[in-house]
Structure 1
Amino acid sequence: MVLGVTGAAVLLGAQPAFAGGPPTSSPAGGAAPAATTDAFRSAARSVSAVTGPERSLVVGVPTLTADQQASVAAKDAAVARVLASSRRAGAARLAGARSEADDPLPSHRSIKAVKQKAQSRSYWCGPATLQMLALADGAKISQKTAAKRLKTTSSGTNWYSGAGNYPMERALERYSDGFDYTPQNLAYTPSDADVATFRDRLVADIAVQRQGIAGNAVEVRNGPHLNGHPNRTIYHWVAVRGYDDDGDTTRYADSVAGSSISWAAPVPRYNEIDTDKIVTIFGARGYVW
Structure 2
Amino acid sequence: MVSGTVLTTALVVLPPPAPAEAKGISVTGSPARLTLKIKKVYQSRPLWCAPAGASISLARLGISVNQKTLAKKMKTRSPYGTYDYDAIRVLNSYAGQKGYQFTLAYDANKPGRLAKRVVHNVGVLRKAVPLQVYMKRLPWYKGLIDGNPGHLIIAYGYDKKAKTVTVWDPYNYYFNGGSHVIPLKRLAKATQSTDGAAGMFYLTKG
TM-score where L is the length of structure 1: 0.59
The alpha-carbon distance between structure 1 residues 230 and 119, as it changes in their structure 2 partners (threshold 3 A), is farther
Q: Deviations over 1:129-152 (max 9, x none)?
A: 011111221211111111122221
Bigger Rg over Cα: 1
Query: Which is strand-richer, 1 or 2?
Result: 2
- Which residue matches 1:288? 201
- CA-CA distance at 1:196 after TM superposition: 0.5
User: Do 2:56 and 2:128's aligned partners in 1 also have CA atoms closer than 8 Å?
Assistant: no
SS of the residue corresponding to residue 63 of structure 1 reads coil
- CA-CA distance at 1:167 after TM superposition: 2.3
Mapped to 2, the partners of 1:209 and 1:277 lie a distance apart of 24
Identical amino acids, percent of aligned pairs: 22
- Which residue matches 1:144? 68
The alpha-carbon distance between structure 1 residues 271 and 150, as it changes in their structure 2 partners (threshold 3 A), is same
Mapped to 2, the partners of 1:122 and 1:229 lie a distance apart of 19
How many residue pairs are counted as aligned between the two chains? 192
- CA-CA distance at 1:56 after TM superposition: 2.6
Mapped to 2, the partners of 1:268 and 1:145 lie a distance apart of 22
- CA-CA distance at 1:247 after TM superposition: 7.4
The alpha-carbon distance between structure 1 residues 150 and 55, as it changes in their structure 2 partners (threshold 3 A), is closer
User: Do 2:33 and 2:157's aligned partners in 1 also have CA atoms closer than 8 Å?
Assistant: yes
- Which residue matches 1:36? none
User: Do 2:41 and 2:170's aligned partners in 1 also have CA atoms closer than 8 Å?
Assistant: yes
After the TM superposition, which residues 220-259 of structure 1 pair with which residues of structure 2 at under 5 Å, given as runs? 220=136, 224-228=137-141, 230-232=143-145, 233=147, 234-246=149-161, 248-257=163-172
- Which residue matches 1:73? 20
Mapped to 1, the partners of 2:132 and 2:7 lie a distance apart of 13
Mapped to 1, the partners of 2:75 and 2:200 lie a distance apart of 18
Mapped to 2, the partners of 1:211 and 1:148 lie a distance apart of 24
Mapped to 2, the partners of 1:131 and 1:124 lie a distance apart of 11
- Which residue matches 2:101? 180
The alpha-carbon distance between structure 1 residues 55 and 108, as it changes in their structure 2 partners (threshold 3 A), is closer
Mapped to 1, the partners of 2:200 and 2:71 lie a distance apart of 18
Mapped to 1, the partners of 2:31 and 2:64 lie a distance apart of 29
Mapped to 2, the partners of 1:279 and 1:208 lie a distance apart of 20
Mapped to 2, the partners of 1:182 and 1:214 lie a distance apart of 11
- Which residue matches 2:8? 56
Alignment gaps of 5+ in structure 1:
1-15, 20-53, 87-103, 160-165
Mapped to 2, the partners of 1:147 and 1:62 lie a distance apart of 22
The alpha-carbon distance between structure 1 residues 142 and 229, as it changes in their structure 2 partners (threshold 3 A), is farther
The alpha-carbon distance between structure 1 residues 226 and 168, as it changes in their structure 2 partners (threshold 3 A), is farther
**What one-letter code is carried by the residue in structure 2 that aligns with 1:288?**
F
SS of the residue corresponding to residue 182 of structure 1 reads strand
**Looking at both structures, which has the greater relative contact order when contacts are Cα pairs under 8 Å and sequence separation is at least 6?**
2
Alignment gaps of 5+ in structure 2:
none
User: Do 2:7 and 2:49's aligned partners in 1 also have CA atoms closer than 8 Å?
Assistant: no
SS of the residue corresponding to residue 148 of structure 1 reads helix
1:117 aligned to which of 34, 41, 49:
41
List structure 1 segments (4+ residues) > 6 angstroms apart after TM superposition.
none
- Which residue matches 1:18? 4
SS of the residue corresponding to residue 119 of structure 1 reads coil
**What one-letter code is carried by the residue in structure 1 that aligns with 2:13?**
V
